[in-house]
Amino acid sequence: MNERNLFIVRFGEAALKGQNKPYFEKLLVERIRKLVKRLGSIEVRRKEGLIFVRADKSIPQEDIIREIGKVFGIASISPAVECPSDLEEIGRAAVEYMNRLIQEKGVKTFKVEAKRADKSFPVKSPDIAKKVGASVLKGCKVLKVDVHDPDVHLFVDLRRDVTYLYQQKIKGLGGLPLGSNGKGLVLLSGGIDSPVAAWMMARRGMQIEAVHYHSYPYTSERAQEKVEELAGILAVYCSRFKMHVINMLPIQEQIAAHCPAEEMTIQLRRFMMRVGEKIAAKNDCSMLVTGESLGQVASQTAEALCVTDASVTMPVMRPLIAMDKTEIMDLARHIGTYEKSIEPYEDCCTVFLPKHPLTKPRLDRIERSEAGLDVERLISEAVESEETIDIYPRID
């Protein structure tokens, strides 16, 4: 029964969704199919609360595991073999399976754990484990049982017609299936934080789009290329998405000419949020997403965040808000954006940067300074400068 390689894929939180569970399962199956399609002939089906992936043996198992491992909502993946749900058949399959592991990995000890999903089967789970273990000991003379620290933990998952044997549970990304939780617009820069924030929201099932702000010619074309490359890394997890590119230089020049220098950062941030809100509304995004972390820089103090939020009515999600920089950097390394993020290309926030930015701005004073600006015209012109770029997964 094992002409093709088999992988058992388990859900994360999607398994807890009650009557909505089939909807989440369908999203996961579609996402897996999309990612593994380029590898060759692969079948993806859902059955009995699991997803089964079957692939030609010519396709390397590690390639399939890698692609499935990019799917949000997956708890774990197990390369497996299958056999009929008959104790003698299970015993024979277990011996064959363990002999292969002896040859490939030199294993010497094992433990069997059985689960009887089919409760009508006449033998209970502990006894199934004992009988399969006895078959392995008889058929694999070099092996010994070690219930505390075995080289191989052999799992036996017995179902109505088919039993699955496996020895690995490769951890998935968890979270919720992409597209199950609305759409948000990420304010994406070339730094470390915002790509991580985008990834975290996508992991909660949110479809993302991005807006990127530049100040050309103060910022270089290479700086924008860097952001596009970062977005391509995100698209590996988030699928293809749009990035809206906005020129902020006219706004920055007006702020510099009419507002106190120390207000530049907070004023610019408020305009970014307003422009982002307009872009989000045009593209059916229900919220803004930023990479801000409380207290990390002057514009991210509690007071500054309150003043920033007062510029828009749309909800603002800040998934990194309580994380420290080390935690954010570790996650950036994990998802593959860190090395690109630390490349030394400027972004628009470094243009006209004040020596002593406000850390505790007051909304009334900020609004009083803004009174000298034609806010609506500046926002409208910025939105009109929009360039839209299709972001595709970056494949190295």
Structure tokens, 120: 């009508």
**Which helix (H) or strand (E) covers residue 187, if one does?**
strand 183-187
Structure tokens, 257: 């000419």
Q: What pLDDT is stored for residue 17 in this prediction?
A: 61
Backbone phi, psi, residue 148, to 5°: -100, -45
- Find, among 37, 51, 40, 49, the residue nearest to 6 by Cα: 51
CA distance 107 to 101: 6
- Find, among 62, 74, 64, the residue nearest to 40 by Cα: 64
What angle in degrees, to the nearest 10, is found between the helix axes of 325-335 and 193-203?
70
- Find, among 176, 200, 244, the residue nearest to 21 by Cα: 176
Q: What pLDDT is stored for residue 352 in this prediction?
A: 65
- Residue 333's contacts (CB-CB under 8 Å, 6 or more residues apart) are none
Q: How many other β-carbons are positioned within 10 Å of the β-carbon of residue 329? A: 17
- Find, among 106, 109, 112, 57, the residue nearest to 90 by Cα: 112
Q: Which residue has the tokens 């590996």?
A: 236
Q: In the chain, which residues have pLDDT < 70?
A: 1-2, 14-19, 346-353, 396
Q: What pLDDT is stored for residue 349 in this prediction?
A: 63
pTM: 0.90
Q: Is 228 exposed, middle or buried, given 0-12, 13-18 or 19+ CB atoms closer than 10 A?
A: middle
pLDDT digit string, tens, across residues 209-236: 999 999 888 778 888 999 999 999 999 9
Instruction: Decide: 188 and 199 in contact? Cβ < 8 Å.
Output: no
Spell out the domain ranges in the chain. Answer: 4-173, 183-391
Q: How many other β-carbons are positioned within 10 Å of the β-carbon of residue 290? A: 27
Q: Side chain identity at 330, as an amino acid letter?
A: D
Q: Side chain identity at 246, as an amino acid letter?
A: I
Is residue 75 helix, strand or coil?
strand
Q: What pLDDT is stored for residue 256 in this prediction?
A: 92
- For 4-173, CATH gives 3.30.2130.30
Is residue 188 helix, strand or coil?
coil
Q: What pLDDT is stored for residue 14 in this prediction?
A: 62
pLDDT digit string, tens, across residues 133-183: 999 999 999 999 999 999 999 999 999 999 999 999 999 999 999 999 999
Q: What pLDDT is stored for residue 396 in this prediction?
A: 61
CATH class entry, domain 183-391: alpha beta
Q: What pLDDT is stored for residue 348 in this prediction?
A: 62
CA distance 139 to 166: 18
**Cis status, amide bond into 250, omega within 30 of 0:** no
